[in-house]
Amino acid sequence: MQLNFSACRKTVTTTTGRGPEQVRTRNVRAVSLPSLTRRLFPLGLVFLTSGIATAVVGPFLGLFLSTAVDASPVQVTVFLMVASLSGVAMSWAIGRISDRRPMRRLLLVVAALAGCVGTGLTAVVRDYWVLLALTATATAIAGSLYPQSFAYARQVLQRDDPSRAAMGISTLRTVFSIAWVGGPTLAAFLLEAGDFSWVYGAAALMYLIAALVAIRWLPEMEAPASPRAEDGPVSSRAPRVLIPILVGFTLLQTAMVLGVQAMPLFTSTELNGSIGDAGLILGLCAALEIPLMLGFGWLSTRVPLRVIILAGTVCAVIYQALALSATSIWMLTAAQLPNALFIAATSGLGISYVQDMMPRFPGRATTMFTNTFPIGNILAAPLFGLSQQYGFRLAFGLNLGLCVLGLVLLALARSRPADTPQPTNFDQEKATEQA
């Protein structure tokens, strides 16, 4: 059964401002929210299953390497570095080709099957070098499923109801967060009931379900940046304004990662708390993020994305200052509200913000944003080492500096005045055909 993308629509006339001959007909769709939800439901299943697959293996990767594989500390470090770097490189390469050919669904299927193969083999293989090779290939390809899913969603939303694009993206990001709320708990249960074979076997099953959903219910999408004779050559060069914006997001991601890594040790060594207290604090933050992401998604239909993201970054500065000065567990717990506001605003809407600047290249734009996560992981490692040496309160002092610098970069970098994507030739041509 193929999804039906037809919708109630009306025709309006828009002018490009380049002369009367440039007046074009553009299709504006009146799509109800329930209808849009039904169309995104299969993609939501892909997000949920792939999110569970990553959530059950991600938090326990170090434990798996240290205990099941018996890797040395140096081998664990090399493995984690290779996993991050290969994921960035593979996602970047796939993102560059994904916008020029009608292959988005195919890429989702290939990435999900690669994840199934990678985790399926990891369930039975315990040789370090074989696992390292799987990480650099199959697991790296599977990593492209996350950005390509958002790129697919962007095309669906932009085609049906552009005004709700940011809201739809934020909602799907919430589904991924829900997967991470339950994923680690499921992994812990599987480890108690069996071993890592069960954990990676469950991840392989989730990837397989994601692939089957994509094959069965997701139609192939057009190539938004395919060259057309009347368009002339299509430039894939990113706008210069993206450089400080992406650097700013990378600094914020580094602070986010370092804060999570330091939290258990900070609560136990500096605040006389326990590991359980750290778990409750992190869980509270994750629980707050979900409704806030939905709320920010709704707000994005009324307020420019840039304003929401800057407000969220201000909350990041406030949180890091509160954490740095915290002297008790309850103070750190109360500070999770601005922390959740920060994460919900930047993680939920940052994708749409970057996509708006490259409307013809949603795959490449999404990949550039999502690559700030693994790069932040890499940058956080030496900062965590400094915190181990000089005290874990230092981690939040470093985070405060990173967030202030990130806020400055995001505030100085200005995108299009309206913070919305301009109509593309692809949109106009489709609109003319359907009118």
Instruction: Give the dihedral of Cα atoms 292, 297, 303, 306; nearest 10 deg.
Output: 80
pLDDT at 19 over 60: no
Hey, what amino acid is at 283? Answer: G
CATH of residue 337's domain is 1.20.1250.20
Residue-wise over 230-247: b if at least 16 C-beta within 10 A, else e?
Answer: eeeeeeeebeeebebbbb
pLDDT at 247 over 60: yes
Residue 61 is assigned to a structural domain of this protein: yes
pLDDT bin (cut points 50, 70, 90) of residue 34 is low
Chain-centre distance for alpha carbon 224: 21
Q: Which range marks the domain in which residue 402 is found? A: 242-412
Residue 136 is assigned to a structural domain of this protein: yes
Residue 81 is assigned to a structural domain of this protein: yes
pLDDT at 432 over 80: no
Percent of the chain that is helix, strand, coil (3-state, to 5): 75, 5, 20
Which residues have CB under 8 Å from 145's CB, separation 6+?
46, 50, 108, 111, 112, 115, 210
For residue range 383-424, list pLDDT tens digits in order.
988 988 899 999 999 999 999 999 999 999 875 543 444 444
pLDDT at 256: 94
Residues 293, 201 share a domain: no
pLDDT bin (cut points 50, 70, 90) of residue 6 is very low
Residue 79's CB is within 10 A of a number of other CB atoms, namely 21
Q: Tokens 């932009």 label which residue?
A: 158
Query: Which whole number is the average pLDDT over 263-269?
Result: 88
Q: Are 399 and 259 in contact (CB under 8 A)?
A: yes
pLDDT bin (cut points 50, 70, 90) of residue 36 is low
Joined tokens for residue 135: 């990480």
In angstroms, the CA 384 to CA 90 distance is 26
31-35, 161-165, 423-427: range with lowest mean pLDDT: 423-427
Residue 431 is assigned to a structural domain of this protein: no
Q: How many domains does the chain have?
A: 2
Hey, what amino acid is at 384? Answer: F
Residues 112, 211 share a domain: yes
Q: Are 402 and 254 in contact (CB under 8 A)?
A: yes
Residue 170 is assigned to a structural domain of this protein: yes
Residue 299 is assigned to a structural domain of this protein: yes
Residues 51, 175 share a domain: yes
Largest Cα–Cα distance in the chain?
72
Q: Where a domain ends, among 169, 197, 226? A: 226
Residues 222, 91 share a domain: yes
Query: Which whole number is the average pLDDT over 277-305?
Result: 89
Residues 37, 155 share a domain: yes
Q: Are 281 and 263 in contact (CB under 8 A)?
A: yes
pLDDT at 428 over 70: no
**What pTM, to 2 d.p., does this model score?**
0.77
Residues 408, 269 share a domain: yes
pLDDT at 244 over 90: yes
Among 327, 310, 86, 119, CA closest to 206: 119
**Using the 8-state DSSP alphabet, how is residue 230 labeled?**
T
Residue 107 is assigned to a structural domain of this protein: yes
Q: Are 349 and 166 in contact (CB under 8 A)?
A: yes
Highest mean pLDDT among 109-118, 150-159, 179-188, 381-390: 109-118
For residue range 66-123, list pLDDT tens digits in order.
889 999 888 988 998 899 999 999 999 998 888 888 888 999 999 999 999 999 999 9
pLDDT bin (cut points 50, 70, 90) of residue 24 is very low
Residues in the chain: 435
Among 212, 189, 214, 190, CA closest to 201: 190
Query: Which whole number is the average pLDDT over 17-33?
Result: 41
Find residue 11's DSSP bridge partners.
27
pLDDT at 311 over 90: yes
For residue range 229-239, list pLDDT tens digits in order.
444 455 556 67
pLDDT at 136 over 90: yes
pLDDT bin (cut points 50, 70, 90) of residue 33 is low
Residues 137, 206 share a domain: yes
Residue 14's CB is within 10 A of a number of other CB atoms, namely 14
In angstroms, the CA 282 to CA 348 distance is 18
Residues 209, 257 share a domain: no
Residues 97, 158 share a domain: yes
Which residues have CB under 8 Å from 410's CB, separation 6+?
244, 245, 248, 249, 309, 310, 313
Residues 174, 39 share a domain: yes
pLDDT at 203: 96
**Using the 8-state DSSP alphabet, how is residue 28 labeled?**
E
Residues 222, 248 share a domain: no
Q: Tokens 């240290």 label which residue?
A: 66
Residue 1 is assigned to a structural domain of this protein: no
Q: What percent of the chain has pLDDT over 90?
A: 49
Residues 58, 195 share a domain: yes
